[in-house]
Structure 1
Amino acid sequence: MPFTLLFVAVLGLLPTFLEAPAAALPAPFAWPVTPAQVTRRFDLPPQRWLPGHRGVDLGAPPGAVVRSAGAGRVSFVGVVAGVGVVSVSHAGGLRTTYQPVAASVAVGDQVATGDQLGLLDGGHPGCSETACLHWGLLRGRVYLDPLALLGLGRVRLLPLDGAQRSVQR
């Protein structure tokens, strides 16, 4: 089979990053801080217990408004390990997380894309800027690249036969 046809066939079979048809994805999503400056990308470790970076760090000034990346319901507001965290549950089983945030919302609040969740606190460890928002995305207990919500995530093609193979990074 010529490469072009194989490539088209693979694209036709390739599920979205969320393993759901594109029509089932909630939309639209937007940056949670603006202007957005990615200072550290998503880096999922090969095993759940290994170190990695299960979100994206977005540089912004302390006190910047943190907004919901998509419409949903606030499912968590609290402090985890001394850091303010807000989580929003979205359609399709997705959940976005935001930290460190001084929350201005409460659990159960309905939010639209762009609604204010709180203000960015400074002091995120590993941040190369004065402050960074750590923005995460989960489906159930599986971490996903939140940049994929904006069409900016990294794509990895997997073998059609489903065989496990080592992945070069």
Structure 2
Amino acid sequence: MRRSPLIPRPRRRVGLIVLLLALVVALVGPLLPVRPAAVGAETVQEAPVWVGRAVEVADEAPSSPWVWPTGTREVVRPWEAPASDYAAGHGGIDLAAPLGTPAVAVADGTVSFAGQVAGRGVVTIDHGDGLLSTLDSVEPSVRTGDTVEQGAAVGVVTVGHCPAVAACVHLGARVDGRYVDPLPFLPPAAWPVLLPESAWPG
């Protein structure tokens, strides 16, 4: 007995369904989302987030809490974080400033020290909340305990941290007793004029 030609063969029908499913997967598959949450999480972990945040802070000039202490924005030696608490580093930034240049308070605060340290004039100001600024190589015109406002004169630049032929002011910052890079507290710097390493003070 012959099978009626109107009734499809089962094997042919199954093969047709498999072929259609394969075509649908091939066409629609590339358009499907690929777990955006997981990809996003991996991207955040791999991105240099701290570098990005540092740049954002430095670029926000209107919200910068400090002012440049000598009017110049030329950094002749940058901050260098020590490899450990006992390793050498450079706990601040050196700003080009001719001898006799007035030095001002970077922010409101109280003078916690004004005097000589290792033969150099130093002024330290307590800004509250554990934040202190230090101006090294400045002849103080204020005394310990004085209250100063941002931009008020606290001394003049003298020889000390940098050689006389390239005088500078060393600006330091401490948060809860630890030295930090003061640059993010300041408005954006000018193009840095970096001294050769052989000219850096020890």
User: Structure 1 stretches (4+) deviating beyond 6 angstroms?
Assistant: none
Aligned to 2:144: 107
* Number of corresponding residues: 142
Aligned to 2:135: 98
Give the root-mean-square deviation of aligned CA atoms. Answer: 3.1
Q: Structure 1 residues 4, 58: closer, same or farther in 2, change over 3 A?
A: farther
| Alignment partners' CA distance in 2, 1:52 and 1:152 | 23
C-alpha contact (below 8 Å) 2:64/2:186 kept by paired residues? no
| 1:4 shift after superposition | 8.5
Give the TM-score taking structure 2 as reference length: 0.61
Q: Unaligned regions of 5+ residues in structure 2, if any?
A: 1-37, 55-62, 190-202
Q: Give percent identity, aligned residues only.
A: 35
Greater radius of gyration (CA): 2
2:98 pairs with 1:61? yes
The AA in structure 2 aligned to 1:70 is A
Give the TM-score taking structure 1 as reference length: 0.72
| Alignment partners' CA distance in 2, 1:101 and 1:129 | 16
Aligned to 1:147: 183
CA deviation digits over 1:18-57, x for unaligned, max 9? xxxxxxxx96311011122100000010112211100000
SS of the residue corresponding to residue 113 of structure 2 reads strand
Q: Unaligned regions of 5+ residues in structure 1, if any?
A: 18-25, 154-169
Aligned to 2:31: none
| Structure showing the higher helix proportion among its residues | 2
C-alpha contact (below 8 Å) 2:70/2:104 kept by paired residues? yes
| Structure showing the higher strand proportion among its residues | 1
Matching residue within 138, 148, 152 for 2:174: 138
